Amino acid sequence: MLGVDVEKRLGDFSLSARFQSGSGVTGVFGPSGAGKTTLVNMIAGLVAPDRGEITIDQTVLFDAARRINLPPHGRRIGYVFQEGRLFPHLSVKHNLDYGRRMCGLPPDAAQMARIVSLLDIGGLLERRPGKLSGGERQRIAIGRALLMRPRLLLLDEPLASLDVARKREILPYLERLRDEVGVPMVYVSHHAAELRRIATSVVRLAAGKVEAAGGKELLDAADADAIL
Amino acid sequence: MRSERHGSPSQPWTKPNGCRLLDLSPDEWIAIRLSLRIAVVATLVALPFGVAMAWLLARKSFWGKTLLNGLVHLPLVLPPVVTGYLLLISFGRRGLLGAFLADHLGIVLSFRWTGAALACGIMGFPLMVRPIRLAIEAIDARLEEAAATLGANRIWVFLTVTLPLALPGLIAGVVLCFAKALGEFGATITFVANIPGETQTISAAIYTFTQVPNGDAAAGRLVLVAIAISLAALIAAEWLSRRAGMRFHGE
């Protein structure tokens, strides 16, 4: 269970968000500039809120009043960035293994094999990220975040940099992830159709405020786009 | 005649087989070996400081950063004699730092090859810091963020992401510092003088040979050696950084 209750000012923009999310996929939905990325960056520990608290299960990740602010490397939260951010100097295999090594977890060949087959990346393991397609890169970024055994997976517009065909390629993997892996996810997107397929609950964000939180009915038809 | 002046020319270890190639005299060999030793030690000792300084200048903002940056680059623009003189009055036996090092740690730098290494290291330092700093600045800081979310603390982020990605700049910095250290003349001769076998580097030896009658041939031989070493260092650096660069862009 993720609990977020934070405030943050960034120049003229102010973000104030309060919501809770459980298992399944929480879709954070809203137009560009609504503060979605700032929100997930605060959950990941990359941006510190001005006020409020962030908890996950019984662990306090951030609490301004008690001056608690766990650094990103102490949070065990997987993060799939919009642009993948694979390490260019490491092979795909070492990219996948990076989080496990940094978290000090023992090698787990079975888990590796499971994620590799789930994401269909077995043929890419010896290659370097430089020559991969956008879709392949995003699948590896997802695998890399999963293999650190996170307690929560953040996905920030993971399909935004891909063309329509690539989006269609990745979405089934994300659905399998949701149905088979059991890690709670926070999925940020400004595409209603994308979230309609993947999310189990929705937080709607606009101009730095939570407009509504609830089920998929919040993705009303007016927001639908023809891309997916 | 030279060997009389410079003393102990005929120790067996100063006569490798390569002597015949250029017909280098034992003294010349001593100068070459000394130069290489000074340049290698100066570069290796400067490297951790250079990397730390480059990281600080590239990634941190703090009060006095401009001044620190200026201080690092000062040896590049000051007359080398001035740098050497400053070293002499601070690291000489009677200097503040020199007296402390000699009395408490037993380290004497003035008129020793270690002092030459210090002078060369300081002269090469700005040339080392600059390419490393540029390389670190060119690294996408978002990759370092990604590493942090994957569980890497600051030190591991630096060792596994920042440093490997800055490798081409690191190689360039090492080679520039090494080349500068190998050829440094003004600061070294001011600080540690020109003592054969202790502080007489290739440059100082060439200078000495140009000041004595019939020294032209010896100076010429050392000039050839200096060119050869510098070229070899440049080619090695080119090859290494191309290899390092290749790793990032493809298979």
Chain-centroid distance of CA A109 in Å reads 24
- B165 touching chain A per CB within 8 A: yes
pLDDT at A140: 94
B17 has pLDDT over 60: no
Euclidean distance between CA atoms B212 and A183, whole angstroms: 81
Q: What is the pLDDT of residue B248?
A: 66
**What distance in Å separates residue A77's CA from the closest CA in chain B?**
7
- Nearest-Cα residue of chain B relative to residue A86: B143
Please give, rounded to a whole number of angstroms, the shortest distance from the CA of A146 to a CA of chain B: 10
Is pLDDT of B15 > 50? no
Higher local confidence (pLDDT), B93 or B186: B186
Provide the residue-wise pLDDT of chain A in tens; the chain has 228 residues: 899 999 999 888 889 989 888 888 999 988 888 888 999 999 999 999 999 999 998 899 999 899 999 999 999 999 999 988 999 999 999 999 999 999 989 998 998 998 898 888 989 999 989 888 888 999 999 999 999 999 999 999 988 888 888 888 888 888 888 888 888 999 999 888 888 888 989 998 888 888 877 777 777 754 544 344
> Among all residues of chain B, which has the CA nearest to that of A43?
B149
A152 to chain B: nearest residue by CA? Answer: B149
Q: How far is CA A23 from CA A27, A90, A158, A199, B96, in A?
A: 12, 33, 19, 11, 67
Q: What is the pLDDT of residue B9?
A: 44
Could B153 and A46 be called an inter-chain contact, meaning their C-beta atoms sit closer than 8 Å? no
pLDDT at A50: 93
pLDDT tens digits, residue range B144-154?
A: 999 999 999 99
Predicted TM-score (pTM) of the model is: 0.82
B122 pLDDT above the threshold of 80: yes
Report yes or no: B64 at the A interface, CB cutoff 8 Å: no
Chain B nearest-CA residue for A103: B151
Confidence of residue B8 (pLDDT cuts 50, 70, 90): very low
Place of tokens 């190998």: B182
One-character DSSP codes across B103-162: III----TTSHHHHHHHHHHHHHHHHHHHHHHHHHHS-HHHHHHHHHTT--HHHHIIIII
Model confidence at B206: pLDDT above 90: yes
**What domains, with CATH codes, occur in chain A?**
2-223 (3.40.50.300)
Query: pLDDT digit string (tens) for B95-105?
Result: 888 888 888 88
> In this predicted structure, what is the pLDDT of residue B184?
92
Q: What is the pLDDT of residue B210?
A: 92
Q: Does B149 touch chain A (CB under 8 A)?
A: yes
Q: What is the DSSP letter of A79?
A: E
Per-residue pLDDT at B115 exceeds 80: yes
> Which of A102, A103, A148 has the highest number of chain B CBs within 10 A, making it the mutation to test binding with B?
A102
Exposure class string for B28-43: b at 16+ Cβ within 10 A, else e: bbbbbebbbebbebbb
Place B249 in a pLDDT band, splitting at 50, 70 and 90.
low
Rounded distance between C-alpha atoms, residue B144 and residue B158, angstroms = 8
Residue A77 confidence (pLDDT): 94
Q: What is the mean pLDDT of residues B49-60?
A: 94
Q: In chain A, what residues touch B158 (CB-CB under 8 Å)?
A: none
Position B38 pLDDT exceeds 50: yes
Say yes or no to pLDDT of B6 above 60.
Answer: no
Tell me the chain B residues in contact with residue A104 when contact means C-beta distances shorter than 8 Å: 151
Smallest Cβ–Cβ distance between B251 and the set A44, A77, A131 belongs to A131
Confidence (pLDDT) at B203: 92
Token duo for residue B235: 């080619």
* B2: confidence class by pLDDT, cuts 50, 70, 90: very low
- Per-residue pLDDT band for B215 (boundaries 50, 70, 90) equals confident
Q: Name the nearest CA neighbour of B194 among B181, B207, B183, B182.
A: B207
Question: How many Cβ pairs within 8 Å bridge chains A and B?
Answer: 75
Identify all chain A residues contacting B152, using CB atoms and an 8 Å cutoff: 73, 98, 102
**Res. B19: pLDDT tops 70:** no
- Reported ipTM: the value is 0.90
Query: Which tokens in the block code for residue B212?
Result: 């004595």
Q: Does B142 touch chain A (CB under 8 A)?
A: yes
Bridge partner residues of A3 (DSSP): A20, A55
| Chain A residues in contact with chain B using a Cβ-Cβ cutoff of 8 Å | 44-46, 71-73, 75-79, 81, 83, 85, 87-89, 98-99, 102-104, 127-128, 130-131, 144-145, 148
Task: Nearest by CB to A87, from B143, B156, B249: name it.
Answer: B143
Which of the residues A98, A100, A153, A186 would you substitute to probe the B interface, choosing the one with the greatest number of B C-beta atoms within 10 Å?
A98
Chain B residue at shortest CA distance from A77: B149
- pLDDT for the residue B236: 87
Domain boundaries, chain B: 24-248
Identify the CATH assignment for B24-248 out of 1.10.3720.10, 3.90.550.10, 3.30.360.10, 3.40.1000.10: 1.10.3720.10
